[in-house]
Amino acid sequence: MSGNIPSQYGGPSGKRVAQPVASSAWIARNVRYRDTATADPPNKTLAHLPVNGVIVWAVIFNAAQTGQKLIRLDFSKATRFDCCEAAYVAGGEYEIAGSGPGHAYSAIVRVYFGSRPTRTLRAEAQHALSQLQLPPPR
């Protein structure tokens, strides 16, 4: 976990925040995580991602985006998009975004695969998502 750091995330929000903060965390399966917790994308790790590798990377930041639905940590709800700035990701990147409990903050969760996601890799990603504990609202 990164702990609270100055946020690089934001955009239109329902709340004004004097000092926006973010916190990120990750889970890596079948690969050693080589980046700082805040690396988005984690290019050093992605450059070494084996075919059976899975990375789940999450960030939460304040304030919650206006009109955002609550995030559901369900891989079947993830959308695929092109990745990354520097490292090739054979299996692609998937993202789930929404607001956290009580709409207290926004969350982005990204899943990276070392090869086309098989049923086994998708199950590993869902297992990691199921272990992710979003903080309660304050």
- Please state the three-class secondary structure of 33-97 as a single string: CCCCCCCCCCHHHHCCCCCCCEEEEEEEECCCCCCCCECCCCHHHCEEECCCCCCCCCCCEEEEE
C-beta separation of 57 from 40 below 8 A: yes
Q: Is pLDDT larger for residue 88 or for residue 84?
A: 88
Query: For residue range 7-54, what is the model confidence (pLDDT) as tens digits?
Result: 666 654 445 555 667 888 888 999 999 998 888 889 999 999 999 999
CA–CA gap between residue 125 and residue 117 (Å, rounded)? 9
Query: For residue range 62-75, what is the model confidence (pLDDT) as tens digits?
Result: 877 778 899 999 99
Query: For residue range 85-128, what is the model confidence (pLDDT) as tens digits?
Result: 777 888 989 999 999 998 889 999 999 999 999 999 999 999 99
For tokens 């995030």, the residue is 71
C-beta separation of 4 from 21 below 8 A: yes
Helix, coil or strand: residue 102:
helix
Q: Quick one: pLDDT at residue 38?
A: 85
Q: Quick one: pLDDT at residue 87?
A: 75
Note if the bond before 6 is cis, omega within 30 degrees.
Answer: no
